[in-house]
Structure 1
Amino acid sequence: MKNEVGHEIADALGILLRRTTRTQLHRQLTEGMGEGVDEHTYPVLSALARTGPRSAADLAPDVGIDRSGVTRRASRLEAAGLIRRETDPDDRRAHLLVLTEQGRSAVAELRTRLAAHIMGSLSGWPPGEAATFAHQLRRFTAEGPFA
């Protein structure tokens, strides 16, 4: 079959990108994280950690929900002390969502949990394969259609 490897990768990416797959993973990662951090707010917290301060409208495409959905989740994170709103220096009418120190600590814990979850999934792989996979996946995202 022509493009067999491409189809295999596309199928695997389809599973990873499914909303149900992401929600289940986010639920596992956020379990016991405390007030405001759950499978719904995790994407906002994670996206802010990756991108830095952003408005709800600018963050919405990265999170995959609309601006009002980001705003609702941001309000929960703000109430929990994980983010704060600051006036946008480029547009004094707008606000940026900014991680607090507590938010950065929560993200660090979530990233540690995610790395442990991934390593647990790879624990049965032969030595070296996980490192090769990580290298090739990084290369694919840097050079491929996601770059």
Structure 2
Amino acid sequence: MTTSPTPETVLLSSLTRLMAQWSSTAVHAEFARIAGVDIDAGDVQPIYLLGLDGPKRVSDLAVMLRITRPTMTKQIARLEAAGFIARSDDPSDGRAVIVSLTDRGTRAFEALVEQGLVAVHAALGAWPDADRRRFADMMHRFTAGLTGPSVHPKEHRSEEIS
């Protein structure tokens, strides 16, 4: 790209780097190790989502994590066998299953969040309090403006790639 970066291209680049690092299984494995949580790194994200949002249908977790239902079902089985989550019938639909954190899962979530906060504090360490608050507000507003797992960019081509 030969043009000057725009705020949007800088943001996209930063988000891409953030997601590549923050969502990597290596980061999840390190947080879990330091937190003393005996969990497969690939199983950390459902723990985070259930801890942040509360009980969910298995199918909703699959959509949020952008994985297939069979893959989510296997992951749920591992987490249940390890004592991190419990299943219950969905009272509004007898065919669906709701999963929630157990006490062990809640303790794991809290320990993982603590490690995440250590990383956030390290990144923001030299920032003045006003900048931290402003950044947190802007990030919250930005992510609230995203439409979630069903985001589909408009299909258009600004230039032909040959």
Q: Same fold (TM over 0.5)?
A: yes
What value does the CA root-mean-square deviation take over the aligned residues?
A: 2.2
Tell me the number of residue pairs that the alignment of Structure 1 and Structure 2 aligns: 143
- Larger RCO of the pair (alpha carbons < 8 Å, separation 6+): 2
Task: Check conservation: 1:53, 1:98, Cα contact below 8 A.
Answer: yes
Cα displacement (A) at 1:114: 0.5
2:132 to 126, 130, 133: 130
Counterpart of 2:152 in structure 1 is: none
Q: List per-residue Cα deviations over 1:2-41 (Å, max 9, x = no partner).
A: 77111100111112223x6512321221115343x23200
Q: Name the aligned partner's letter for residue 120 of structure 1.
A: A
Q: Name the aligned partner's letter for residue 65 of structure 1.
A: I
Counterpart of 1:78 in structure 2 is: 80
* Structure 2 unaligned spans of 5+: 149-162
**Secondary structure, counterpart of 1:40 in structure 2:** helix
Counterpart of 1:43 in structure 2 is: 45
Q: Percent identity?
A: 28
Q: Name the aligned partner's letter for residue 94 of structure 2.
A: R
Task: Check conservation: 2:62, 2:69, Cα contact below 8 A.
Answer: yes
2:12 to 7, 10, 14: 10
Q: Name the aligned partner's letter for residue 7 of structure 2.
A: V
Query: Matches of residues 64-103 of structure 1 in structure 2 within 5 Å?
Result: 64-103=66-105
TM-score (norm 1): 0.83
Counterpart of 1:114 in structure 2 is: 116
TM-score (norm 2): 0.76
The 1:49/1:34 distance shift into structure 2, 3 A limit, reads closer
Partner Cα distance (1:102, 1:21) in 2: 24
Please list every run of at least 4 consecutive aligned residues from structure 1 whose deviation after the TM superposition is greater than 6 angstroms. none
Computing the radius of gyration from Cα coordinates, the structure with the larger value is: 2
